[in-house]
């Protein structure tokens, strides 16, 4: 299947990032959110991101104008009928995703592929709530989407080869480097990454080192571009906790027990950069 129009549900950080990646690659986008204000904020974010690329002389003003012209913002799911694939990029909440996916499944043509940008929820389980499980797949982009090369393509038990091949080709068209992953909690990257972040919170809670020294140790000793605690602040401590909770529930293994300090900070509303305070102050 040739994909010329991508539907995106959610105009937040991930949704507008995916929209930008598609638009600069010559693919039309329909980006839907619940309010006009959310849609316009998403489009404005794309515009600001493109402005930064102009300053770095990576694109021209004409490139920016062409990319923005390819993005149609909407508050109506009906506009998604023009897409060959619809990517759900809503909040990491199973019940919400199911509600959205069932609405889209009933609306778009039978041949349309449905994808979820989930970072931890079972693709097999999400596929099963739709009437097109063979055309359902995970497309896990990484933040910030325009800059990060990786896309995890997650096959549910029911995902067809044709669906996988179409989505892999789309990722490559976007200039990404996709990896194919079997369905399992956290897939590959977050399965390794989030428990490492959780362990960094245990190290912090035990007073073994300051946040700055923990992060410096991992940057200088493991060649990581950002320390795990600073990364947790960027991801959102609530997201890290939610992912650990999924692992603990799905695997039933105590090694995935969320650090009490992480839970305490989330309870206090110290979620990281988005609230101005997490491990660090912003």
Q: Tell me the percentage of the chain whose pLDDT exceeds 70.
A: 100
Q: Flag whether pLDDT at 1 surpasses 80.
A: no
Confidence at 246, pLDDT banded by 50, 70, 90: confident
Predicted local distance difference test score (pLDDT) of residue 77: 97
Query: Average model confidence (pLDDT) for the chain?
Result: 96
Predicted local distance difference test score (pLDDT) of residue 131: 97
Q: Are 241 and 258 in contact (CB under 8 A)?
A: yes
Predicted local distance difference test score (pLDDT) of residue 200: 98
> Residue 227 is encoded by which pair of tokens?
């320390």
Residue 273 DSSP label: G
Which residues fall within 8 angstroms of residue 106, CB to CB, at 6 or more apart?
A: none
Kindly report the backbone phi and psi dihedral angles of residue 2, in degrees, each rounded to the nearest multiple of 5, phi listed first: -90, 125
Average pLDDT over residues 72-95: 96
CA neighbor of 166 nearest in space, from 56, 83, 242, 58: 83
Average pLDDT over residues 210-215: 98
Confidence at 227, pLDDT banded by 50, 70, 90: very high
Q: What is the pTM of this model?
A: 0.89
Tell me the per-residue pLDDT of 28-48, one tens digit each, with 9 for 90 and over.
999 999 999 999 999 999 999
Q: How many residues does the chain have?
A: 282
Confidence at 120, pLDDT banded by 50, 70, 90: confident
What positions carry a catalytic annotation? 119, 140, 152, 190
How many angstroms separate the CA atoms of 246 and 154, rounded?
17
Distances (CA, A) of 124 to 15, 130, 241: 22, 10, 22
Predicted local distance difference test score (pLDDT) of residue 139: 97
Tell me the per-residue pLDDT of 134-176, one tens digit each, with 9 for 90 and over.
999 999 999 899 999 999 999 999 999 999 999 999 999 999 9
Predicted local distance difference test score (pLDDT) of residue 143: 87
Q: Flag whether pLDDT at 7 surpasses 90.
A: yes
Predicted local distance difference test score (pLDDT) of residue 2: 86
Which residues fall within 8 angstroms of residue 165, CB to CB, at 6 or more apart?
A: none
Confidence at 232, pLDDT banded by 50, 70, 90: very high
Predicted local distance difference test score (pLDDT) of residue 41: 97
């Amino acid at each position: 299947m040739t994909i010329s129009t991508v539907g995106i549900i959610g105009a937040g950080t991930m949704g507008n990032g995916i929209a930008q990646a598609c638009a600069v690659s010559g693919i039309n986008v329909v980006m839907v959110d619940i309010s006009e204000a959310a849609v316009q904020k998403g489009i404005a974010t794309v515009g600001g991101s493109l402005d930064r690329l102009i300053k770095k002389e990576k694109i021209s003003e004409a490139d920016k104008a062409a990319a923005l012209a390819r993005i149609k913002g909407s508050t109506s799911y009906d506009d998604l009928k023009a897409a060959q694939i619809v990517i759900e990029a809503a909040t990491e909440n199973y019940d919400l995703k199911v509600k959205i996916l069932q609405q889209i499944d009933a609306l778009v043509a039978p041949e349309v592929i449905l994808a979820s940008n989930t970072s931890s929820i079972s693709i097999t389980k999400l596929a099963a709530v739709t009437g097109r499980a063979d055309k359902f797949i995970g497309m896990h982009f990484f933040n910030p989407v325009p800059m990060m090369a990786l896309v995890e393509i997650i096959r549910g038990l029911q995902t067809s080869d044709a669906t996988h091949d179409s989505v892999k080709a789309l990722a490559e068209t976007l200039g990404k480097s996709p990896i194919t992953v079997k369905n399992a909690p956290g897939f590959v990257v977050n399965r390794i990454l989030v428990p490492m972040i959780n362990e960094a919170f245990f190290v912090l809670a035990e007073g073994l080192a300051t946040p700055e020294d923990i992060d410096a140790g991992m940057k200088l000793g493991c060649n990581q571009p950002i320390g795990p605690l600073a990364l947790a602040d960027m991801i959102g401590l609530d997201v890290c906790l939610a992912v650990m909770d999924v692992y603990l529930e799905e695997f039933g293994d105590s090694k995935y027990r969320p650090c009490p300090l992480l839970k305490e900070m989330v309870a206090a509303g110290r979620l990281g950069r988005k609230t101005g305070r997490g491990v660090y102050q912003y």
